[in-house]
Amino acid sequence: MHLLLRSSKPKNLRYLFVAHHNHIFTGKLNDNLSWRSQHTAAGSSNDNNPDDNKTRKKSRPLTEHEKSIISSMIRVDHAGEIGADWIYRGQMAVLGKDKVVGPVIQEMWDQEKYHLSTFDEIISRHRVRPTFLRPIWETTGFLLGAGTALLGKEAAMACTEAVETTIGEHYNDQLRELIKFENNEEITELTQVIKKFRDDELHHLDTAVDHDAQKAPFHGPLTAIINNGCKAAIWIATRI
């Protein structure tokens, strides 16, 4: 296994690792295109070449059990991106005019908007029932973002550090599960999306640490509470 240490200031980071089979997940996505439209474009090109069609493996259908697992993954990831979107909304409401961290938060928020729009597409395409608790995730996310921002810039970054640590670990868990699914094009596409978004979240984690997240007052208890809250939200969103 390989440790994924992006930050130049590791200090007490909860180190995230990528499993030794991570080299399988090598797909890259262009942020200007949706995951589906890129695949469609690639597929259209292959369809015009009979030789490519002969060599391509046929994508097997998913079993009902596999469909249930994938639906749960998509539901919880969609809910998580909703929460992340509203956390950054809350932070921007308080710190948006700050000349130092305002642009930093905006950049991370823009990426989360792209994540959410992508999962909006995925959840619709796979016909997955979205979480019933969207209003709760939106309200809780905004209060968490605004509340920590009111404690100061460092606390806002500590919030980001804690959230992105948990989400990075969560996406890693999903990638380890998805490697068990073989020879299915839609699973391959979903794996590429999750891998890219995992890397984005880890970059947000590094950004937060670089902007003094660990100098926040009561850093340890604060991040522990947020971490446990995120894990509870993941458990709930998987089911409801």
Q: Which residue ranges are tagged as binding site for Fe cation?
A: 81, 112, 115, 164, 201, 204
Indicate the angle between helix axes 64-95 and 185-210, nearest 10 degrees. Answer: 30
Residue ranges for the known binding site are 81, 112, 115, 164, 201, 204
The candidate with the shortest Cα–Cα distance to 74, out of 185, 160, 191, is 191
Q: Which residue has the tokens 């409801």?
A: 240
DSSP string, 121-176: HHHHHTTPPPPTTHHHHHHHHHHHHHHHHHT-HHHHHHHHHHHHHHHHHHHHHHHH
**HSE (side-chain half, CA atoms, 13 Å) at 215:** 9
3-state secondary structure of 34: coil
Structure-token pair, residue 123: 């959840």
* Terminal-residue alpha carbon distance, the chain: 33
Which of 132, 147, 126 has its CA nearest to residue 193?
126
